[in-house]
Amino acid sequence: MTRLTTYARGPLFFDVTDTGPEDGTPVVLLHGFPERASCWREVAPLLHAQGLRTYAPDQRGYSPGARPRGRSSYVVSELVADVVALIEAIGGPVHLVGHDWGANVGWSVAARHPELVRSWTAVSVPHPAAFVKAMKTTRQGLHSWYMGLFQVPLVVEGLARWAGGPVDQGLRRTGMSRDEVARFRTEIVEHGALPGALGWYRALPLSRGRGMGGRVRVPTTLVWSTGDSAIVRPGVDWCEQYVDAPYELVVLEDVSHWIPTHAPEPLADAILARIASVA
């Protein structure tokens, strides 16, 4: 077997970190904002130790070869199609895992392409319909205030050039360590990925009804943490309503939003338990 280091969808080329036993069962790991595939660096080895092969792509806007212009290029249906293309390149079906925005995209992949997903583990972010309901009826809107700021062109990009400035400070307030903020500066800001990463948010007004959500019919786990400053509990509790398959909620106490790097062992345990449930 050979390693999958890149794959194409149309004119776009995506970088992939393919590690673990070459004959291992495939697991796709989807990163969130503002991180790249390296956010799985603590989790992936724990999965490899159990015989699993992991594929972690740098997604649209993050891979240098996949940074199209215009916010319409970042609607959820396009992000979903990118993941489908990866699974088809692997030869699917796969076990799917996603954190933050990767979870938002993964929910739609699992709902719309169940034939490609053997199991689904969402990390931090509940089903899109549960999240929207929470936005309308709970304090979720107050916790998601930054989404409005991200809609303004060039503002965040300009602020992010300031090392130690408000963007770095904001990430620290969410629980990121100094080393993790430094990685953000290196892998996102200096790498040129920030405009494309923000495109995911800026395309949200165009994404309604275009590939978002749907009922999930594959075995599902949601891993959420009580220290998450971005996601409030009600949407998490409503998530089960949108899953027509075995479902489990795993709650990690006093862990920040950055579960893959702050709690890799319990996260890996939850992923492995979900995979084992369908083995």
Report d(CA 88, CA 66) in Å as an integer: 18
- Convert the pLDDT of each residue in 5-47 to its tens digit: 999 999 999 999 999 999 999 999 999 999 999 999 999 999 9
Instruction: Map residue 192 onto helix, strand or coil.
Output: coil
Instruction: Map residue 54 onto helix, strand or coil.
Output: strand
pLDDT of residue 232: 95
Indicate the pairing of strand 52-57 with strand 12-19: antiparallel
Which has the closest alpha carbon to 12: 71, 95, 69?
Answer: 69
- Mean pLDDT for 122-150 is 93
Residues in the chain: 279
Domain boundaries, the chain: 6-277
Report d(CA 18, CA 54) in Å as an integer: 6
Q: Which residues pair with 26 in a beta bridge?
A: 53
Percent above pLDDT 90 for the chain: 92
Cα 266 from chain centre: 17
pLDDT of residue 210: 57
Which has the closest alpha carbon to 161: 132, 185, 196?
Answer: 185
Cα 225 from chain centre: 15
- Convert the pLDDT of each residue in 141-196 to its tens digit: 999 989 888 998 889 999 999 999 999 999 999 999 999 999 999 999 999 999 99
- Convert the pLDDT of each residue in 60-92 to its tens digit: 999 999 999 999 999 999 999 999 999 999 998
Q: What is the DSSP letter of 260?
A: H
Which has the closest alpha carbon to 256: 237, 230, 236?
Answer: 230
Q: What is the DSSP letter of 270?
A: H
pLDDT of residue 225: 98
CATH topology of domain 6-277: Rossmann fold (3.40.50)
pLDDT of residue 213: 76
List the 117-123 sheet strands across, edge first: 6-9, 12-19, 52-57, 25-30, 94-99, 117-123, 220-225, 247-252
pLDDT of residue 1: 64
- Mean pLDDT for 113-129 is 97
- Return the amino acid letter for 208: R
Burial class (CB in 10 A: 0-12, 13-18, 19+), 195: middle
Q: Could you give the maximum distance between any two Cα atoms of the chain, in Å?
A: 50
Non-local (6+) Cβ contacts of 223 within 8 A are 121, 122, 123, 124, 250, 252, 259, 266, 267, 270
Report d(CA 212, CA 47) in Å as an integer: 29
